[in-house]
């Protein structure tokens, strides 16, 4: 009686040892670091590592260590000032072919990391993370609005052939007419059909010319809409990155704050968040030669010159069949026939209809896929002033012959690597930004409640834990000591499970752990009080111990299962911090039942099992 088999004891010891092993990474902490990776899909190697070391030494920047792993270079520092200084230096020296980002790098030993050991992900209120302040390029928003209204104006006025010429001039549109009567008719038509446009007052005395601009209210609405759309897209992209409990919110009229707690690959986060990428599907101009167009400096009417990534030119039709806005789904994969990366594309109904009509009409013609990316960078000009440099790259991914008719579902190939295919699919799936954004501030941040408050919070948790331990020892003596061991092992198991799952721990999550500690002690109290009752009812101590555990288990299970159901409901319907609380509470309930019932009994069995006892220390 009160004896576990050797196999059962070995299994309990194995699980506890495993939990201790995977909880261990959390004692090593993290280092402030600068992460350097290659832009796009270029490889980064030992030569880059040597170059970075030389740069830092030449400038006298002190660093803790530098190493190359997982296609990135991590330079670790002892203080924040050195980290920020090195980041600015490397960004200036390395140029645009590299992505330089701040990071918090776990200092887990290599042997433990090889076994799959990872430190627990902590939220911004405990560990900090990466903070991005993004600014939406509102000038680009107005420019895109002008483009939209320019096309609408041409369509509206072309019906009755009202205008002589129409062209964009900055943030306005200049329309010239042959007669004053046509000008007045067009003005009335614009006021009635396009209420968002206003006719601007100018000093120009030309009676046959009017300047049209976007009204103030329409400008405000366009900016507001662009900001909201960008926030939605950023949320989708962060979700695709797998960051738990992110903070994405508007700041002012033009800026967005993005906080990524416990993020590891900050360079990829930076690359994905700031990318303004889309696709265009265009037919290839089969009748004209691109080399002739380059030499003459003139492109044929209805065509435009584009280039592949390797520099090869190709003439494409100006008419766009479908764009990234028509894409509703995108997934990367491998073409089984040719063993090359690909992206499976799904279009919406308008895009599918346009693609079907095109493939029917132009069967056996070539169609090209153009990848378009807009970037905004802040640079210093010759006068030392900060200016924004906008750049747009348009690369042909592939130009394949249309072998059969298709509509909303098809594949694109010609992508350099599987990683680039995954990034492209992510951007298309998450949606394109409605306007370019620039990362104007990037930093690692500490606990939002402040180091002092965190220290006090930790001290209060430790104090509460110690008081519980003392109470259990005083009230239940040896059995109380066993309960304390089980309680400590319960905390170790919770940390191990959180580390393995890489769930983000926040202050509400700690509240869940504290609640679990109370419930674990409560389970032991129920068991010990039941044992006392059994001792009063019978003289056989071994039977009293066995009956105390057996009869208390059902009560403990009922109480824990009802709490587990409540925590699952919280997880299902809650968001953010509420989910964090529910996760730790659920894990804690399961581990506490294991430690309070099985582990504590295994220890009691070792102490009292199989012995002739006169009394119990309880």
| pLDDT, tens digit (0-9, with 9 covering 90-100), for 276-301 | 667 789 999 989 999 998 988 888 88
Domain 30-106, second-level architecture? 2-Layer Sandwich (3.30)
Question: What CA–CA distance (Å, rounded) separates 618 from 610?
Answer: 18
pLDDT digits (tens, 9 = 90+) for 107-158: 888 888 888 888 887 777 776 678 888 888 888 888 878 888 887 888 888 7
**Whether 196 contacts 215, CB under 8 Å:** yes
In this structure, of 31-45, 62-76, 362-376, 450-464, the range with the lowest mean pLDDT score is: 450-464
In whole angstroms, what is the distance from residue 618 CA to residue 597 CA? 17
Do 481 and 604 meet the contact criterion of CB atoms below 8 Å apart?
Answer: no
The partner residues of 100 in beta bridges, in order of sequence, read 36
Phi, psi angle pair for 23, to nearest 5°: -85, -20
Q: How confident is the model at residue 23 (pLDDT cuts 50, 70, 90)?
A: very high
Residue 454: pLDDT band with limits 50, 70, 90:
low
Helices (H), 365-506: 418-430, 451-501
More confident residue, 94 or 313: 313
Residue 405 per-residue DSSP state: -
Q: What dihedral angle (degrees, nearest 10) is formed by the CA atoms of 153, 158, 161, 163?
A: 30
Tokens of 73: 């270079």
Q: Which CATH architecture has domain 139-219?
A: 2-Layer Sandwich (3.30)
Sign of torsion, CA 335 338 339 340?
A: negative
Average pLDDT over residues 195-204: 79
pLDDT band at 247 (very low <50, low <70, confident <90, very high): confident
What is the pLDDT averaged over residues 16-40?
85
Q: What is the DSSP letter of 201?
A: P
What is the model's pLDDT at position 10?
92
pLDDT band at 32 (very low <50, low <70, confident <90, very high): confident
pLDDT computed for residue 435 by the predictor: 75
Burial 333-371 (b: 16+ CB within 10 A, else e): eeeeeeeebbbebbbeeebbebbeebbeebeeebbbbbb
**Dist. CA 281–CA 285, nearest whole Å:** 13
Strands (E), 26-111: 30-38, 65-69, 72-77, 98-106
Fold topology of 278-432: Gyrase A; domain 2 (3.30.1360)
CB 211 within 8 A of CB 204: yes
The confidence band for 497, taking pLDDT boundaries of 50, 70 and 90, is: very high
Give the C-alpha separation, 393 to 398, whole Å.
Answer: 15
Q: Which helix (H) or strand (E) element contains residue 551?
A: helix 541-573
Cα–Cα dist 614/541, whole Å: 8
Residues 6+ apart with CB under 8 A from 310: none
3-state helix, strand, coil in the chain (%, to 5): 50, 25, 25
Report the alpha-carbon distance of residue 201 to residue 181 in Å, rounded: 19
Reported as a pLDDT band with limits 50, 70 and 90, residue 241 is low
Closest Cα partner for 171 from 215, 204, 133, 207?
215
- DSSP structure class, residue 120: P
What are the distances in angstroms from CA 131 to CA 73, 151, 559? 21, 39, 41
Q: What is the pLDDT of residue 13?
A: 92
Which residue shows structure tokens 């098809």?
A: 410
Cβ neighbours, 10 Å, residue 226: 24
Q: What is the mean pLDDT of residues 40-67?
A: 85
Q: What CATH class has 6-23+450-608?
A: mainly alpha
- pLDDT bin (cut points 50, 70, 90) of residue 449 is low
In the chain, where the domains are located: 6-23+450-608, 30-106, 139-219, 278-432
Strands 65-69 and 340-347: unpaired
Structure tokens at 486: 């089980």
175-185: pLDDT as tens digits: 888 888 888 88
pLDDT band for position 307 (cuts 50, 70, 90): very high
Give the largest CA-CA distance in the chain. 118
Residue with tokens 């009292």: 608
- What's the pLDDT at 387? 67
Residue 159 burial class via C-beta count within 10 angstroms: exposed 0-12, middle 13-18, buried 19 and up: exposed
Predicted confidence band at 565 (pLDDT cuts at 50, 70, 90)? very high
DSSP label at residue 264: S
The overall average pLDDT reported for the chain is 82
Round to the nearest angstrom and report the end-to-end CA distance of the chain.
Answer: 19
How is residue 525 written in tokens?
Answer: 């109290």
Residue 390, by phi and psi: left (phi above 0), alpha (psi -120 to 50) or beta? beta
Per-residue pLDDT at 330 exceeds 70: yes
Higher pLDDT, 466 or 388: 466
Dihedral pair phi/psi, residue 89, rounded to 5°: -65, -50
pLDDT > 90? residue 38: no
Q: What is the 3-state secondary structure (H, E, C) of 282-322?
A: EEECCCCCHHHHHHHCCCCCCEEEEEECCCCEEEEEEEEEE
- Give the residue-averaged pLDDT of 59-85: 86
- Model confidence pLDDT, tens digit, residues 514-564: 888 777 888 888 888 888 888 877 768 888 888 888 888 888 888 889 989
Q: Provide the token pair at 55.
A: 């740069």
Domains 139-219 and 278-432 alike in fold: yes
Answer yes or no: are the C-beta atoms of 36 and 90 closer than 8 Å.
Answer: yes
Indicate whether this model's pTM tops 0.75. Answer: no
Asked if residues 577 and 510 have their Cβ atoms less than 8 Å apart, the reply is no
Provide the 8-state DSSP code for 537.
Answer: H
What distance in Å separates the CA atoms of residue 242 and residue 249, rounded to the nearest whole number?
18
pLDDT at 536: 79
Report the percent of the chain where pLDDT is more than 90: 13
How do residues 335-374 score in pLDDT, each as one tens digit? 877 788 888 888 888 889 999 999 999 988 999 988 887 6
């Amino acid at each position: 009686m009160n004896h576990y088999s050797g196999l059962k004891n070995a299994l309990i010891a194995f699980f506890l040892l495993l939990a201790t092993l995977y909880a261990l990474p959390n004692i090593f902490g993290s280092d402030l670091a600068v992460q350097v990776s290659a832009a796009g899909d270029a490889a980064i190697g030992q030569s880059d590592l040597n170059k970075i070391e030389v740069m830092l030494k030449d400038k006298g920047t002190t660093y803790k260590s530098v190493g190359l792993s997982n296609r990135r270079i991590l330079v670790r520092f002892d203080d924040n000032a050195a980290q920020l200084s090195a980041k600015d230096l490397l960004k200036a020296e390395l140029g645009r072919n590299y992505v330089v980002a701040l990071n918090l790098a776990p200092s887990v030993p290599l042997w433990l990391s090889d076994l799959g050991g990872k430190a627990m992900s902590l939220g911004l209120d405990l560990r900090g993370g990466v903070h991005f302040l993004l600014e939406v390029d509102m000038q680009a928003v107005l420019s895109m609005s002008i483009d939209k209204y320019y096309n609408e104006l041409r369509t509206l006025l072309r019906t009755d052939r009202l205008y002589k010429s129409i062209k964009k001039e900055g943030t306005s549109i200049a329309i010239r007419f042959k007669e004053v009567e046509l000008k007045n008719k067009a003005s009335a038509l614009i006021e009635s059909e396009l209420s968002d446009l206003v006719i601007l007052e100018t000093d120009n005395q030309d009676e046959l010319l009017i300047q049209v601009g976007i009204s103030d209210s329409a400008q405000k609405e366009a900016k507001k809409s662009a900001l909201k759309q960008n926030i939605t897209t950023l949320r989708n992209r962060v979700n695709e990155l797998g960051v738990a409990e992110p903070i994405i919110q508007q700041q002012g009229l033009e800026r967005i704050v993005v906080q990524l707690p416990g993020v590891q690959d900050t360079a990829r986060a930076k690359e994905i968040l700031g990318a303004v990428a889309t696709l265009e599907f265009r037919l290839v101009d089969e009748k004209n030669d691109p080399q002739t167009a380059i030499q003459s400096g003139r492109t044929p009417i209805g065509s435009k010159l584009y280039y592949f990534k390797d520099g090869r030119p190709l003439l494409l039709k100006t008419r766009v069949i479908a764009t990234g806005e028509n894409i509703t789904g995108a997934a990367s994969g491998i073409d089984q026939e040719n063993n090359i990366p690909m992206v499976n594309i799904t279009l919406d109904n308008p895009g599918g209809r346009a693609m079907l009509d095109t493939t029917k009409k132009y069967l056996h013609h070539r169609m090209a896929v153009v990848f378009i990316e807009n970037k905004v960078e802040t640079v210093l000009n010759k006068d030392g002033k900060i200016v924004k440099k906008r750049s747009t790259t348009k690369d042909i991914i592939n130009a394949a012959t249309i072998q059969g008719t298709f509509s909303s579902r098809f594949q694109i190939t010609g992508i350099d690597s599987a990683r680039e295919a995954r990034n492209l699919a992510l951007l298309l799936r998450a949606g394109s930004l409605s306007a370019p954004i620039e990362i104007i501030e990037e930093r690692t941040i500490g606990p939002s409640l402040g180091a002092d408050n965190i220290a006090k919070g930790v001290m209060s948790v430790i104090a509460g834990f110690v008081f519980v331990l003392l109470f259990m020892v005083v009230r239940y003596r040896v059995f109380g000591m066993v309960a304390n061991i089980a309680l400590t092992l319960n905390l170790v198991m919770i940390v191990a499970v959180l580390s393995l799952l890489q769930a983000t721990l926040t202050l509400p999550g700690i509240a869940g752990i504290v609640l679990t500690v109370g419930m674990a002690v409560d389970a032991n109290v129920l068991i010990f009080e039941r044992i006392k009752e059994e001792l009063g009812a019978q003289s056989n101590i071994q039977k009293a111990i066995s009956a105390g555990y057996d009869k208390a288990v059902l009560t403990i299970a009922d109480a824990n299962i009802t709490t587990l159901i409540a925590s699952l409901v919280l997880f299902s319907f809650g968001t953010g911090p509420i989910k964090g609380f529910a996760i730790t509470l659920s894990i804690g309930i399961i581990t506490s039942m294991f430690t309070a019932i099985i582990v504590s009994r295994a220890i009691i069995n070792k102490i009292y099992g199989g012995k002739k006892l006169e009394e119990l220390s309880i």
